[in-house]
Structure 1
Amino acid sequence: MKAGYVLSGRYKIKKSLGEGGMANVYLAFDLILKREVAVKLMRLDLRDNPAAIRRFKREAISLTELAHPNIVSIYDLGEDNGMQYLIMEYVEGMDLKEYIAQNFPFAYSRVIGIMEQILSAVSEAHAHDIIHRDLKPQNILINEQGQVKITDFGIALATSEYSLTQTNTLMGSVHYLSPEQARGSLVTKQSDIYSLGIILFEMLTGRVPYQGETAVSIALKHFQNEMPSVRAFDHSIPQPLENVVLRATAKNLRERYQTVAEMAADLRTTLSATRATEPKWHPFETLDDETKVLEPLKIATKVQKKKPTVPEKKPETKTKKWSTKKKWLFWGGICFILLLVIFAALSFALSPHNVSIPDLRGMTKAEAKGVLSDRNLKVGKVSYQNNDKYYQGQVISSTPEEATNVRENSQVSLVLSKGPEKFKFGDYTGQSYATVKKKLEAKGVTVLKQNEYSNTVAKGEILDQTLSKNKKVVWDQTTVTFTVSSGAGQSYLRDLTGYTEKSVRDYANELGLVLKVKKESSSDSTAGLVIAQDPAVGSPVQSGDVLQVTLAANTTSSSSSSSASSSSQEKTFAVNVTLPYANNANSTSTGAQQSTTNKIEIYLQDKNHSFSSVYQTLTIARDTEISLPFTLDGSATGKYKVVRDGQVVAEKDNIKDSGN
């Protein structure tokens, strides 16, 4: 796989880390969680092998149960274009094979320290009934802090179908192969213990015990040859330490350590002074299946004197001849018995037999049908249900259950997985990011955040989300990115001189500023335009700050104007209004938006404004006083209304002048 390829749209391949018998390993970057990971990608020649794929998935799922500081963590399991992959913790360092090559020889205490970490990890796996099957230095990683991390637990199971003649895939593993594995016998937890003994041998001597030109020749030595002595290589190695190697690699399972914990307890005291005079350990008995040579029978050496033999006279006996009737009876009886035997055999062969229901979990319907057909069983009713453990289309359970004995030609009902249950994601815009993040992460969602300034939405509230509210998702397989308000970004006031009142009001609304307007008489051409502002040009402001501008008022020199009827005179004045703040953060009503700010909408009616449209919108976090400008002709009246978070909190009609 080339560098730069993005696996499942998330894991970007950086480089190859190595190749194995079942999978290739790559270094990749998780584009969502922003971290380096190791990708184990099943080899292409195994991609079309249903058994290998099934075991790969099953073992990977079981490995997620292992949480141990000396076991590489499994993050994800998936498929991309038919390629099965595992996402694992990336361990920066080297494998034990390379570590031995660079550091050998090293102190016995360091050897024991490394082995104790390895034994602790294997013991944890055995406690979950997981057998590694392929323990070797290449599968043991050591990070830069000296911590051991074991990888590939159980994955080697799928390669067990391959012959030992495939030296390109198994040559590295055969050096650590137990005798029972080499013979094709049942693999047990003690098989892992044998491999651990070989690893300890290599750390003490810098080499493996058996060499050969082919994998087969090496495998034969594992169950035919005596284990070489590590003390023959280095006499300074303590005898108790050699004894651990010998017991761990005993050919006879009864003499090998029964558990990893037993081996760890023995290893822990090997450097103790109390064991300094310990004799070399020897097996008590040979393997049961070893070839035994029988001694030839001894021939008597003494020659006895021959005695003359006197011929014995045998009494003459008369041979009785069977009559024809007896012969017919005899042969007839024989034929009858043969017919009975043949009939019984045919009846047994043709009648249905009892067969055991196999374990079908994790198989596809087609795979299960094939396995059942091999046992003369048929697929019965097929039903579907959601399941978090098995992928869509895999068998969850069967009826009758596994290991149940049934008659041949019986039907077996299957329950297939529909995959994990999916739920509508929902709409979280306008809600507190901290609250939503906590709620979604409790369901297993990966929640990401990006910030954006907003003059209309309070800081910490969600502006947008990458997933549609109606999208159906599996919670623990979902990643969402929320755009969250950082509040109003700091702005700098522009020069408003010459702006009309409407232009100033639009500008104030854009920045979320509270606008106050006052008017001064002017006899020049600036009437109706801004002639002054506070704060000054270039001053920094944020949403909620007050902006005050001064507009030039219309004036005339005509005395007739000043004495005009009050009924036609235009009046401009301001009304001070307090906007009341309400803290909604402790709201417990269902679906209530939790916020620490209020959204305010103001409606105003006078000569210049219509009551049907919003005059000003702003956000407040405390009681705020503003000034509302009114322009009225003669006896006309104005009115205003304040709406807070959708509810009217203040309103006044019949406004006539600034004092009312």
Structure 2
Amino acid sequence: MIIGKRLSGRYEILRVIGSGGMSNVYLARDVILERDVAVKLMRVSMANEEQLVRRFRREAQATTQLMHPNIVDIFDVDEDHDNHFIVMEYIAGMDLKAYINHAAPLPLSIVVRMMLQILSAISHAHGQHIIHRDIKPQNVLIDAEGNAKITDFGIAMALFETSMTQTNTTLGSVHYLSPEQARGGVATPKSDVYSLGIMLYEMITGILPFDGESPVAIAIQQLQSPMPLLSDKVPDIPMSLQNIVMKATAKESINRYSTVEEMKEDIATALMPSRINEAPYDIHSADYSETKTIPIQTATIKDKIADIEGLETNKVDEPIIDQKKEKKSNKKVNKKRRWLIIIIAFIAIAGIVGSYFYYTSQKTYAVADVTNISQQAAIARLQKDGFRIGKTTEQNSDKVEKGYIIKTDPEAGEKLKKGDTIDLFISSGKKEFAIDDYRGKNIDDVKEELEKAGFKKVTTTPINSDEIETNEITSQSIQKGLKIVPSETTIELEFSSGPAAITLKDLSGYNKSSVKDYATDNGFQLTTTDEFSDKVAEGQVISQTPEAGTAMNKGQALAVVISKGVEKPEKTIDRKLTIKYTGDEDVAGDPTKEDEGDEGNDSSSSEKEKTSQNIKIYLKDKTHKISDVYQSFSITEDHDVTLSFVLDAKTEGAYIIERDGEKIEQDTVVYE
């Protein structure tokens, strides 16, 4: 049982999605790239047949050469325990056969669009020397956008490897098989042209042109029966499409399109109004295009000659003369008459031809609308109308396919004479944009630049990084140097959002020291302030900014308020002090001067004196500075003072006492 098995340890088989003569196709999951793929697996019963294995491998080798938007991509070719398989692009849709059965009759605009895609793909394959050999609707897949993708080059082979189709083996579906293949002849690119013509017939009518009870009966019809006319099934079909089918399905390959590209150019203009009623295709005509001849008015020339000859009928009676002389004279007359007739005829023909060319040189013709068709088809059409092709200029276009005509100069509808020159403006496709290396650049600047360039979508993804500067681009989904169409492209950019965010803790209950440690460990810029609080114990956190739970990055600011406890009211504190006097207590008079000059003074007593001491007091409280003198006085004895300090919980009091300039006491006073 293959379902559920993993081939080469990578491709997990999910379900069957198709089968063919030599292989089955499965939907699988690429577990490495995480995408759905289609796996074409050779049937086990054939795996031991060497010839079939070689054909299977040849299919893979041939198809891997083909890189085209309308050809299914091949991702891998491998073998797992004698299981030979090819890994292909998975197209989530139906094949063209199912699409025809579901939607027939198809609108002609859809038929032409799909055929142009199919023809473009087959033309690419032929350019790689590969013939498909099995073109049929079952081998054309239709994706979700309605685009055609060709698959199953299973019986294709390189031209240089092909000489003859085996006469005893019919490859391909007989309904679409070319006559030369049916008779066992060489398969050429024109064989694919025949199959494409049959498929085009089926897309338009919904039925096959040849059918029968057996493959042999159908093959005989392919060889002998004339191709049915589209108009028999679809009466209002444009003659251009019927002509294309008839030319593509001619029994003899020499009468078909010489290349698929030629058929593509023809079908590109099939729905143009000027081609709808064109002349039917004549298989015996050397030129498919309409042939025009210049009519020569011979009747007029004959009339001129008759007029000359009519002179002989108007003879008058003449005397009889010598017969010899008469014959001689008649010869001269006849000779002159012949020359006269020739000259008159020449003049008549020259006049007629000259009149024709003068008339045609003066006649004007409207420039055909060749926009949105290929360059080759446009040139062929304009040259057919008698115009010359001038300059060709390539321009970018978001609306016109690459290689197709954007406009002409003069424009469509303008009147020109035959031989006039028309310039062509050819689409070089949508404008491409060269991707730069955006790593290291600012994400906002690059996003703006890409949006201005017209990108379909610019997605940005932040990535945490401790090393890369914030907003600096770290990676991009499209590498430098690739040229893409912005309007069809989504680009993804990753950029640094800085270090990973840290969820801020609730710092309630932390003291100032703990808060500092927390801020340092996480790289925050900390600021603290103190406030009184009658709810939070002194020294602990009252509040924080930002609040707890906020996502923080390194370097961000964190502000914390620390409690100073309950606020205390202002009050006056008195301090009573005694300042000691340390000077001499008694000062006696000089004894040498006793009674000197005092004779006659009857008193002998001495006078006692004390030396004063200077006191300065300095005080600090809410209203005084310690540098200012609070009180100053002199003492001659011990002196009591009362110092009054105005304090609150924030202010500490202090005092200093000096005696004669010497500090004798100092102390502090605290709020109690």
Band the TM-score falls in, shorter-chain normalisation: 0.3 to 0.5
TM-score (norm 2): 0.45
